[in-house]
Amino acid sequence: MNTLFKSSSFLDNAIKESRLLNLAAAFLFLYALILTLAPAVRVHTLQTALNWRHWMGFAVWAAGAWWVRRALQTYLGDHDPYLLPLGALLSGWGLLTVWRLDASLGLRQMLWLGFGWLLLGMGVRWPNLLLWLRRYKYVWLALGLLLVALTLVFGTYPAGEGPGLWLGCCGFYLQPAEPLKILLLIYLAAYLAERLPFSFDLTSLIAPTLVVVGIAVALLVIQRDLGTASLLLILYTLVLYLATGKRRILLFTLTGLILAAWVGGAVFSLIHRRLLAWWDPWSQAEGVGYQIIQSLIAVAEGGLLGTGPGLGSPGFVPVAHSDFIAVAITEETGLLGLVGLLGLIGLLVTRSFIVAVRAPNLYRRLLAAGLGVYLGGQSALIIGGNLRLFPLTGVTLPFVSYGGSSLIVSFVALLFLLQIS
């Protein structure tokens, strides 16, 4: 009887996942078709060059989603049926948006997406992956810290002038701060799962983790990667709170962040400029406030339904393909598109916490919850920064923003959630 019930549950989940992926494919197909016809709509005639190259990206997306779904049904039959469609739709929407903004960047993003699908499809075939990561948690964390430290000496910026946050060779670049987020979550989940059942003293429990997080944050602050440093502190705080239930942890961290912002604004010119751009961008309209003002204008231009995919002018917003990709989407799809984007992210975070609640042990529970906090927290920071709700942090929007490191780390997070589920 139990076997029959499980078989029925597997079948229901497979049908549900298939239908959701079909809906995602239909949306992206329609979006790609509108982008193709956009030049004709602009000049009100079909006697013009149409956009076709982004269909290569759609083909890679569709082939990868189909292949990964087959692998999931074979190797992880009882997985959460919502995770893959949500991650697939967000990554496909981001790819088409990047391609619409810059075809050369879209081509590179397509290659990274293909690698992400390959990583996800191979990862689901590794049943002991999470146990292996737990066993060597110190090695992986040390490797992540080492890579971040190397950027202090060998760091570069792919676009030429800018902060040296990447390690690069032969045209390929890695931003070590991106995988460090996941490696830190693995370490925290494994460490706390081992110590919590035997440690009742909060100070002795968190002291080693505080040292590790302090080193990571210090390296990022030296690099002026303040957005990632803030995110690491938020991740650390919320994972500790979820593990211990101690509210004073939240209070201490909030007080510390406010104090750090106040001191940093007085000491570091970069923090001062970002706080000024957030508080009163119009006083610096030709300087640090230019980017956020253009962002707000683009959002206002989008209105309720947007100007239409391919018909707006999101390129006027600096770095629209990365930090401000949510604004690019909002201008051309309007408030409706922004609500849809937020809804997809919210559903992904919700499913992450559902996976955490259903996880069989504390290590997987904390890891799933931490991944949900990472996806939701980073999304809230960057979208809130775009809309001037928070100071701009410069982090990417998971699955959506341009960047190989960000996209691959998002797929790794999705892989872990699928394994845990």
pLDDT in tens, 208-265: 777 887 888 877 777 777 778 888 888 888 888 887 777 776 677 667 666 665 655 5
Tokens of 30: 């329609």
Question: The whole model's pTM is what?
Answer: 0.90
pLDDT at 331: 92
pLDDT at 134: 87
In DSSP terms, 172 is beta-bridged to 169
Please state, rounded to an integer, the average pLDDT across all residues of the chain. 83
Task: Using pLDDT thresholds of 50, 70 and 90, give the confidence band for residue 91.
Answer: very high
pLDDT at 367: 92
Q: Which residue has the higher pLDDT, 284 or 413?
A: 413
* Whole-number Å distance between alpha carbons of 130 and 415: 10
pLDDT at 285 > cutoff 70: no
Q: Which class for 356: exposed (0-12), middle (13-18), buried (19 or more C-beta within 10 A)? A: buried
Contact 95/109 with Cβ under 8 angstroms? yes
pLDDT at 195 > cutoff 50: yes
Q: Which segment, 108-122, 218-232, 262-276, 291-305, is predicted with the most confidence on average?
A: 108-122
The predicted-structure confidence for 93-117, as pLDDT tens digits, reads as follows: 999 999 999 988 999 999 999 999 9
pLDDT at 4: 47
- Which range is least confidently modeled, 2-6, 86-90, 129-133, 301-305? 2-6
pLDDT at 414: 95
Residues with Cβ < 8 Å from 97, sequence gap 6 or more?
A: 321, 325, 328, 329, 400
* Whole-number Å distance between alpha carbons of 55 and 110: 10
Task: Using pLDDT thresholds of 50, 70 and 90, give the confidence band for residue 198.
Answer: low
pLDDT at 329: 93
Mean pLDDT for the stretch of residues 152-170: 68
pLDDT at 5 > cutoff 50: no
Q: Which residue has the higher pLDDT, 156 or 369?
A: 369
pLDDT at 421: 85
Task: Using pLDDT thresholds of 50, 70 and 90, give the confidence band for residue 122.
Answer: very high
Mean pLDDT for the stretch of residues 32-57: 84
Contact 388/398 with Cβ under 8 angstroms? no
Work out the angle between the directed axes of helices 202-222 and 177-195 (0-180°, nearest 10): 170
Mean pLDDT for the stretch of residues 330-349: 93
pLDDT at 119 > cutoff 50: yes
In DSSP terms, 280 is beta-bridged to none
Contact 300/292 with Cβ under 8 angstroms? no
* Whole-number Å distance between alpha carbons of 166 and 394: 14
